[in-house]
Amino acid sequence: MYTNSLYSRIEICIKIVYMGQQLNFCAIVWFFIACNNSTSIEEKNGDAITTTKNDTAKIIDTTTPAADLMALTAAEIKDDSVFADGSFPASWSNAGFSDSIAVKKFLKKVRCWVDNNQRDSVASIIAYPLKKPVIIQDVESFLKNYNTLFNEKVKKSLHEQNLRQLFRNTKGVMIGSGELWINETPRGLKIIAINN
């Protein structure tokens, strides 16, 4: 009886309404949306394959982070006025930052790169030299010490950081309990400290 055609869905909605059901317009719209699921995503060999209703497929490259993974949600754009520990954050301008959204986008980009083990990309956003835990003078020494610098503790802090509750002061923005610090430099936002 039920087919995926638009005509059949309209006919079913009309029958439901005429059968005395008290359905409002929203319920009918919901029914159309629920029945119109014409796209599915399948995982195959690490690539996402999008299948459309006319059985054509398009392979999506998943080796590089998608731009939408770095996009901020509406909740992430806002800042909490009181942190979970009861403290009050400094204003972004008092901490020396001109664009809080840029800071949050930067952190999402760093998360994505660290999650995908894109070491060269991470190396490009370090303010050299780093002084802790070992002196890191340049990209080459950073890449050599990457696993020491970005250990599980640092990765966990970065991944779990609530973007609505970023501690900031004149030294920069702190991630976790100080595992990472970022700040604005003449060359843009950079990681200025890694404390693992």
| Consecutive 10-residue averages of pLDDT for the chain (196 residues) | 50 49 42 41 37 39 51 85 86 91 95 96 96 86 94 96 94 95 95 93
Residues 98 and 177 in one domain: yes
Distance (Å, rounded) from C-alpha 12 to C-alpha 4? 11
Q: Which two tokens stand for residue 115?
A: 């999650």
Distance (Å, rounded) from C-alpha 8 to C-alpha 48? 31
- What would you report as the CA-atom Rg of the chain, rounded to the nearest whole angstrom? 24
pLDDT at site 79: 84
Classify residue 180: in a domain, yes or no. yes
Residues 74 and 31 in one domain: no
pLDDT at site 72: 85
Residues 151 and 81 in one domain: yes
Q: Strand 57-60 and strand 167-169: pairing? A: unpaired
Residues 31 and 74 in one domain: no
Domain holding 75, by residue range, is 70-194
Q: Please tell me the total count of domains within the chain.
A: 2
Classify residue 42: in a domain, yes or no. no
Give the C-alpha distances (Å, rounded to integers) separating 45 from 56, 62, 64, 68.
Answer: 18, 11, 15, 22
Phi, psi of 23 (to 5 degrees): -100, 135
Classify residue 2: in a domain, yes or no. yes
